[in-house]
Amino acid sequence: MAFGLLGSLPSSSSTTITGGHCWNNKKYVDHSYARYYVTRCSWKKNGKSSMENNIIKTSLENNWTNHYYKGIEPKSTFDKYEKRPLINAVTTESYEPEPQAYNSKIIIESIIHGFDNFRKFSRFYAFMGLVAGSFFSSLLAVDNLSQLFPTFFNGYLQYIVPHFFMHLYIVGLNQLADLEIDKINKPYLPLASGEFSFTNGIITVASFLFLSFGSAWMIGSKPSLLSLLVTFVLMTAYSINLPFLRWKKSTTLTVMAHAIGMTTSFNIAAFMHMKTFVLKKATTYPRSLFLATVVMAIFFAVVAMAKDLPDIEGDKAAGIKTLAVRVGPKRVFWFCVSLLEIAYGAAILIGASSPFLWSKLFTVSAHAILALILWVRANSTDLSSNISLQSFYMFIFKLIYVENIVTLLVR
């Protein structure tokens, strides 16, 4: 006659122990001693029932004293048994995570993932260049420290907020227009990876454009509105694929769009907004603003060409013949380095003509050091590696940040 105890206990707080052919099988649990008792079962009478009862009794007594029990299962013959270890009888409950904690974790992870996608979409390194340029150009309009707080900071926020929305419009439009190219060059971007749908991308970009012009219109700053309009026209023509547009295909138009658009929004318009709209002063053009305009125009032209260095593969596939595609990355790279060195040379000449000795010494020495750092960094760049070229491109933005600080002390 077959007989056996269950090989495992359920995970719930109640545990059932059964016997083969048992009638009225019952279970009693004494929680203070955590011991399990099984009532006697009535077995079918056959020639071996006494032997079965003795085996069961001996097995249960031995295992209860050790706080666990082993089941007995018959094999092919009655007098051969296989013993199986079971779980500790004291353990009667299983742990299950609380649904509320689990849901909270999912929500937090979703929020973090959403912010990460927005960070990739926004290209904040370019926006930080706008922040640095516009902030230090705005400081050039301040005549004394008493104008800094709260007048200056309130006025600066009025300028940077609409331009932040315009920045999101520009980078978003470029990702929409370059969707197939980015799948090769930048597959981590949300639109290229499929994290953002194309329809949602269009709605998002249009919303940022509306917020940009809407907020600037409510503020009422003419320099800010003019800067937004110039940037909108140039960068839309650069990105969008329509007749007579898609200036990205032309190196000349690309350099012109970036140099004019960035110089206007980063430097000239920021200064004019602070000087005429916020501080209500007459328009003047200091030497420092002239230096910033000349040097930064060269920097932004270099940015327009250097950004294509890591993207040659995708541009070739899309049929876009950038300067890097036509003449090769090595020539474009050293042409960009040469332009930056020329920009530093121009800054040294402008600084040397300053009537103030302290400004002359600082401007000349600072730009000489920056020119040396650039040369060392350029010679350590691996031109066969897209990662190295991308790193050099990001290094140019660091030079832009530093140049905006140096410009403040030019007199």
Whether residue 108 is contained in a domain is answered as no
Residues 83 and 129 in one domain: no
pLDDT band with cut points at 50, 70 and 90 for residue 354? confident
CA 172/CA 411 separation, integer angstroms = 39
Q: Which amino acid is at 182?
A: D
User: In the prediction, which pLDDT does 98 show?
Assistant: 62
- Per-residue pLDDT averaged across 216-228, rounded? 96
82 dihedral zone (left: phi>0; alpha: psi -120 to 50; beta): beta
Residues 66 and 174 in one domain: no
DSSP secondary structure letters along 157-200: HHHHHHHHHHHHHHHHHHHHHTHHHHHHH-TTSHHHHTSS-HHH
Token pair, residue 180, equals 């197939």
Token pair, residue 324, equals 């890097």
The answer on pLDDT for 73 being more than 60 is no
User: In the prediction, which pLDDT does 399 show?
Assistant: 93
Cβ atoms of 260 and 230 within 8 Å: the answer is yes
Residues 78 and 154 in one domain: no
Q: At what angle do helices 386-407 and 329-352 cross, to 10 degrees?
A: 10
- Cα 146 from chain centroid (whole Å): 38
- Per-residue pLDDT averaged across 86-95, rounded? 48
314 dihedral zone (left: phi>0; alpha: psi -120 to 50; beta): alpha
User: In the prediction, which pLDDT does 17 show?
Assistant: 40
Residues 58 and 166 in one domain: no
Whether residue 18 is contained in a domain is answered as yes
Residues 271 and 331 in one domain: yes
Whether residue 86 is contained in a domain is answered as yes
CA 193/CA 167 separation, integer angstroms = 21
Residues 210 and 301 in one domain: yes
DSSP alpha helices (H): ranges in 65-152? 99-122, 124-139
Residues 88 and 175 in one domain: no
Whether residue 113 is contained in a domain is answered as no
Cβ atoms of 248 and 238 within 8 Å: the answer is yes
Range of the structural domain that residue 222 is part of? 125-407
What is the DSSP pairing of strand 35-38 with strand 27-30? antiparallel
Residues 164 and 300 in one domain: yes
CA 391/CA 138 separation, integer angstroms = 29
Whether residue 117 is contained in a domain is answered as no
Whether residue 110 is contained in a domain is answered as no
Cβ atoms of 159 and 270 within 8 Å: the answer is yes
pLDDT band with cut points at 50, 70 and 90 for residue 185? confident
Q: Using the 8-state DSSP alphabet, how is residue 242 labeled?
A: S
Q: Please tell me the least confidently modeled range out of 99-113, 121-135, 333-347, 381-395.
A: 99-113
Burial level of 146, CB count in 10 A (0-12/13-18/19+)? Answer: exposed
Q: Using the 8-state DSSP alphabet, how is residue 47 labeled?
A: T
Burial level of 44, CB count in 10 A (0-12/13-18/19+)? Answer: exposed
Residues 11 and 59 in one domain: yes
The answer on pLDDT for 276 being more than 90 is yes
Residues 313 and 228 in one domain: yes
DSSP secondary structure letters along 191-209: HHHTSS-HHHHHHHHHHHH
CA 293/CA 362 separation, integer angstroms = 19
The answer on pLDDT for 169 being more than 60 is yes
Residues 74 and 132 in one domain: no
The answer on pLDDT for 266 being more than 90 is yes
As a whole-number percent, the residues of the chain with pLDDT over 70 amount to 75
CA angle 57, 61, 67 (to 5 degrees): 140
Token pair, residue 54, equals 């003795």
Residues 172 and 52 in one domain: no
As a whole-number percent, the residues of the chain with pLDDT over 90 amount to 43
For residue 202, what is the domain's CATH number?
1.10.600
Domain total of the chain: 2
Q: Where a domain ends, among 76, 96, 116?
A: 96
Max mean pLDDT among 32-36, 85-89, 252-256 falls in 252-256
Whether residue 119 is contained in a domain is answered as no
- Per-residue pLDDT averaged across 268-275, rounded? 95
Whether residue 312 is contained in a domain is answered as yes
Reported pTM: 0.71
CA 368/CA 145 separation, integer angstroms = 30
- Per-residue pLDDT averaged across 160-167, rounded? 96
